[in-house]
């Protein structure tokens, strides 16, 4: 199972919006509404930010939103803040009853 | 508060074995699927294995199939990962994770496994 494709890095200034893409196939991202997103700060465990493509867990800022079109899912962060600087990973359930992560995207807040 | 605490990591030679444990608390362990996810040094997250709530159904990533075994003790609220025939490329932080349907939350703090001679 190949990793989902994410940009290696994205950046934005405080207050701006950024979008991170996550491209898979019809056997994973495109085939199921089971895409989730995780935030990881250096040396820390990942944290769930979005589940089932668009849903935000309790406690996660509404500045984070998710969407999907075809085989590509996206995470959008609006009103960028310094604390958003972290690595972000997408994840999808697959037709093999397994899961696959994206390669990760490093977000830099300028 | 939901807590997942991994232990059992360490340094092991190639070809060796190691057993990871994950002690859980704060939720009804027997109601949830559980997983292991690993992260190599400076690398991304990789899903390793999943076990269903009863411990009957398991599934593995191709990279560990036949070498790793996931299990659980619902009476002791503990998840395990038996790792045999370890390879240098298995070096990683291993995270214990609770699965709710198809997403992962929360994650343990991780335990480091280093495979080196």
Question: Which of A20, A49, A98, A103 to mutate: most B Cβ within 10 Å?
Answer: A98
| A52 neighbors B103 (Cβ within 8 angstroms) | yes
In what helix (H) or strand (E) does residue B115 lie, and over which residues does it extend? strand B111-115
Answer whether B103 sits within 8 Å of A36, measured CB to CB: yes
| A92 neighbors A29 (Cβ within 8 angstroms) | yes
Which residues of chain A are within 8 Å of residue B105 when distances are taken between CB atoms?
47-48, 51, 57
Which residues of chain B are within 8 Å of residue A52 when distances are taken between CB atoms?
101-103
Q: How far apart are CA A47 and CA A41, in angstroms?
A: 9
Beta bridge partners of B71: B80
Written as one string, the DSSP assignment of B22-66 is EEEESS-GGGSEEEEEEE-TT--EEEEEEE-TTS--EEE-TTTTT
For residue B101, the model assigns a pLDDT of: 86
Nearest partner of A68 among A101, A32, A103, A104, judged by Cα: A32
Closest partner residue to A89 (CB to CB) among B44, B50, B100 is B44
| A106 neighbors A99 (Cβ within 8 angstroms) | no
| B116 neighbors B13 (Cβ within 8 angstroms) | yes
Q: How far apart are CA B76 and CA B74, in angstroms?
A: 5
Q: Confidence class of residue A2 from pLDDT cuts 50, 70 and 90?
A: confident
Which residues of chain B are within 8 Å of residue A43 when distances are taken between CB atoms?
none
Q: What is the pLDDT of residues B22-36, one digit of tens each?
A: 999 999 999 999 999
CB neighbourhood size of A73 (10 A)? 30
Q: What is the pLDDT of residues A94-110, one digit of tens each?
A: 999 999 999 999 999 99
Q: What is the pLDDT of residues A47-71, one digit of tens each?
A: 999 999 999 999 999 999 999 999 9
């Amino acid at each position: 199972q190949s990793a989902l494709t994410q940009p290696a890095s994205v950046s934005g200034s405080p207050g701006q919006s950024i979008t991170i893409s996550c491209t898979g196939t019809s056997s994973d991202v495109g085939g199921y509404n089971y895409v989730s997103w995780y935030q990881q700060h250096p040396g820390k465990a990942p944290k769930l930010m979005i589940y089932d493509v668009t849903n935000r867990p309790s406690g996660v800022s509404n500045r984070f939103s998710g969407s999907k079109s075809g085989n590509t899912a996206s995470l959008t962060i609006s009103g960028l803040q310094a604390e958003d600087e972290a690595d972000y990973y997408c994840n999808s359930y697959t037709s093999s009853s397994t899961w696959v992560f994206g390669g990760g995207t490093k977000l830099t807040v300028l | 508060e939901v807590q997942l605490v991994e232990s059992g990591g360490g340094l092991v030679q190639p070809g060796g074995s190691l057993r990871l444990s994950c002690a859980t608390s704060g939720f009804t362990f027997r109601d949830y699927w559980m997983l292991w996810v690993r992260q190599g040094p400076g690398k991304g997250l990789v899903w390793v294995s999943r076990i269903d709530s009863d411990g009957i159904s398991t599934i593995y990533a191709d990279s560990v199939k036949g070498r790793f075994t996931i299990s659980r003790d619902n009476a002791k609220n503990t998840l395990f990962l038996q790792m045999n025939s370890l390879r240098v490329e298995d070096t990683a932080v291993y995270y214990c994770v609770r699965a709710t349907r198809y997403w992962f939350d929360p994650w343990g703090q991780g335990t480091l496994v280093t495979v080196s001679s």
